[in-house]
Structure 1
Amino acid sequence: MLKELEHLKISLDAIKLATNSFHDDYFVRVGGFGKVYKGEIITTTTDGGLAKVVAFKRLDRRHGQGEHEFLMEIMMLFRYRHKNLVSLLGFCDEGDEKILFYEYEFNGSLERYLSSNTLTWAQQLKICIGAARGLEYLHNPPGT
C-alpha cells in the first residue's frame, strides 16, 4: 500500500531538522494522535526551493492510535482534496516513528477557533456549513 505513496515520504532527519528535534519551542498542541509540532520544510519546485510551514503529528501509542489508524489517515487524506479539509502533505515511517505532516493552519484548530467568544452567529453558521461540506465530501466523494 505505501509503495504508491512513496513520493510523500519524508525522512525523520528532515523532520528533526524542521522541529529542532521536537523541541518545546516548536510544540503546538496535543491531539488524539499525539503531539503536534510546527516546522518549516523546503519543498522543491521548478524554480528551486520554497519554504513551507507545516504541522507534524507525531504518533504517541499511549493515545490508543496505532499502525492501522496511521495507514488509514494516509490513505484517506491522500486521496481526498477539498477546500474545507486540511491537506496531507506527507508522512514519515522510520523505526518506531510514525509522523504525518499537513498544511499548517495559522488560525489554529477549528475546535479552538469555535470556542472563541469573538465569532458572530453568522460567522459560526458559515463555519458550520463549511465543515458540513467537508464531511459530506469525505462520506460521498465525487465518482463514488
Structure 2
Amino acid sequence: MASLREVEHLQIPLPLILSATNSFDENNLIGKGGFGNVYQGHSEQYGTIAVKRLDHRISGQGQHEFMMEIALLSAYKHENLASLVGFCDQDGEKILVYKHESNGSLDKVLQSKDLNWIQRLRICLDAAHGLKYLHDDVGPQHRVLHRL
C-alpha cells in the first residue's frame, strides 16, 4: 500500500473542493453509492470533477481502505478507467476526486433506451479492454482481481 508521502502530490485542499462543489450543494449531487454521495464540481485547476465524499455511516471504510483506494487508482491509467485527480483527507473529511465523465456513470448510460446494439457492443468492448488492462496488462505483481 502506498504511504501518504507517496501520494501527497495528489492532495487537494478542502477549501478548493468546497468551492468547486459550492459546499456540497444538493444541486451538485450526481449520484449515491456504497462510498457516499458524489457531487459534480468545477475548479480552474482541475476543470469539471466528480467528488466522492466518504460517509462513514454507510461505507464502513477507514483510513486503510481509503489509502488503498488512492494507491490503486493513482497507479492505473487507461482510457477506459475513471481517472483519479486527487484526494482530500482533512478536517475529518475523506474525499476522492475524479475527472468527471461527461456521459455519466456506466450503469446509467446502459439504462438508456436510446442505445442501439452496436453502441452497446462498443461499450462492452471498451469495458472489456479496461478489465483486461487491470487483470493482465499491469503485470502479475499489480494485477487487480475482481470477485463477488
User: Match for residue 12 of structure 1?
Assistant: 14
CA–CA separation in structure 2 for the residues paired with 1:91 and 1:2: 11
More strand per residue: 1
* Contact 2:36 2:59 (8 Å CA) reproduced: no
TM-score scaled by structure 1? 0.89
Q: Secondary structure at the match of 1:131?
A: helix
CA–CA separation in structure 1 for the residues paired with 2:34 and 2:65: 11
- Counterpart of 1:4 in structure 2: which amino acid? E
Report whether the alignment pairs 1:41 with 2:37.
no
Give the alignment of 1:120-131 within 5 angstroms.
Answer: 120-131=116-127
- Counterpart of 1:94 in structure 2: which amino acid? Q
Report whether the alignment pairs 1:73 with 2:66.
no
User: Match for residue 54 of structure 1?
Assistant: 49
Cα displacement string for residues 89-119 of structure 1 (whole angstroms, at most 9, x for unaligned residues): 0000013200000000111100000011111
User: Match for residue 100 of structure 1?
Assistant: 96
CA-based RMSD: 1.3
Cα displacement string for residues 42-88 of structure 1 (whole angstroms, at most 9, x for unaligned residues): 22xxxxxxx60101000012223412332121111101000000100
Query: Can you give the 5+ residue segments of structure 2 that lack an aligned partner in the other structure?
Result: 141-148
* Contact 1:59 1:65 (8 Å CA) reproduced: no
TM-score scaled by structure 2? 0.87
Cα displacement string for residues 16-40 of structure 1 (whole angstroms, at most 9, x for unaligned residues): 1111111111111111210001111
Offset at 1:143?
A: 4.3
Residues 65 and 42 of structure 1: CA distance in aligned 2, closer, same or farther (over 3 Å)? farther
User: Match for residue 48 of structure 1?
Assistant: none
Q: Secondary structure at the match of 1:81?
A: coil
- Counterpart of 2:51 in structure 1: which amino acid? F
* Of 62, 78, 93, the match for 1:82: 78
User: Match for residue 129 of structure 2?
Assistant: 133
Identity, in percent, stands at 50
Give the alignment of 1:22-33 within 5 angstroms.
Answer: 22-33=24-35
